[in-house]
Amino acid sequence: MTTDLLGDLAARISACRACPRLVAWRESVAASPPPAFAGETYWARPLPGTGDPRARLVVVGLAPAAHGGNRTGRMFTGDRSGDFLVAGLYRAGFANQPVSVAADDGLQLRDAYLTAPVRCAPPDNRPTPAERDTCLAYLAEELALLSNARAYLALGAFAYDALRRLRTTVGEPPSPRPKFAHGAVVPLSSGRTVVCSYHPSQRNVFTGLLDAAMFDEALALAKAACETPPSSPPGSGARHRDAPRTG
């Protein structure tokens, strides 16, 4: 049943044209690809989430990349962010292979699901608040269907804020709400947990703000949260590894 409902949602997401600026951008990018992707047929539509419908771990990003998911038609596929993320998921046992290059590359996620608050590639990777709010209803519906989730891995402050906005769906955070920090662990009233990580963007990785060891630590925290029984919600307050990093 969940698989069917997610399929119905995916069909509605991929047909969406609600945000004119995003529609124009995703299609113009596809019409004029860089030389590395010349001749490829771009997906150039909004992206639904992907992964295990019964996942306990839900990874929440920002939006598809113009020449990544917008090209390949699958979230976190075909760009360096996807390479970094899926390699980490593979090391943690959530993926059957360490690469994510095409929608038909054989990638299978185990107990994990990938999604994002914004479904179209935005110019400069910066959706407007109105675009975010328009798209957020899809994430709310998707997370409600992913009822087996025990942990949300928020990739960046944008994803963390999106989960906060969906607190009636995912659970209330403590008050006052803990600030975003890499390695922060935020228990929710639902017994679920949000684990924060810097986004694996090319910039963050190339500048050293995020490296594989740091990401593995965040994934380990999320994996541990997945093992928390629903009847035993984590303690109050935000917990984090030594010296969480903000920014």
3-state SS, 150-204, equals CEEEEECHHHHHHHHHCHHHHCCCCCCCCCCCEEEEEECCCCCEEEEECCCCHHH
pLDDT at 234: 38
Q: How far apart are CA 164 and CA 115, in angstroms?
A: 16
Q: List pLDDT tens digits, range 75-113.
A: 999 999 999 999 999 999 999 999 999 999 999 999 999
pLDDT at 1: 75
For residues 55 and 148, is the Cβ–Cβ distance under 8 A?
yes
Residue 9 has pLDDT above 60, yes or no: yes
Residue 231 has pLDDT above 80, yes or no: no
Preceding peptide of 20 cis, ω within 30°: no
Q: How far apart are CA 129 and CA 127, in angstroms?
A: 7
Helix (H) or strand (E) holding 194: strand 193-197
Q: List pLDDT tens digits, range 15-28.
A: 999 999 999 999 99
Cα–Cα distance list, 36 to 72, 193, 199 (Å)? 14, 40, 24
Q: Which CATH class is domain 2-245?
A: alpha beta
Name the one residue in this structure whose structure tokens are 């984090």.
240
Residue 43 has pLDDT above 80, yes or no: yes
Residue 236 has pLDDT above 80, yes or no: no
Instruction: Report domain extents, the chain.
Output: 2-245
**Predicted structure pTM score:** 0.92
Residue 180, helix vs strand vs coil: coil
Residue 247 has pLDDT above 50, yes or no: no
pLDDT above 90 as % of the chain: 88
pLDDT at 230: 64
pLDDT at 100: 97
Q: List pLDDT tens digits, range 207-221.
A: 999 999 999 999 999
What does R_g of the chain's alpha carbons equal in angstroms?
Answer: 17
pLDDT at 177: 85
Bridge partners, residue 60, by sequence: 115, 154
Residue 179 has pLDDT above 50, yes or no: yes
Q: Pick 54 or 2 by higher pLDDT.
A: 54
Residue 180 has pLDDT above 70, yes or no: yes
pLDDT above 70 as % of the chain: 93
Q: List pLDDT tens digits, range 117-156.
A: 999 999 999 999 999 999 999 999 999 999 999 999 999 9
Bridge partners, residue 153, by sequence: 59, 195
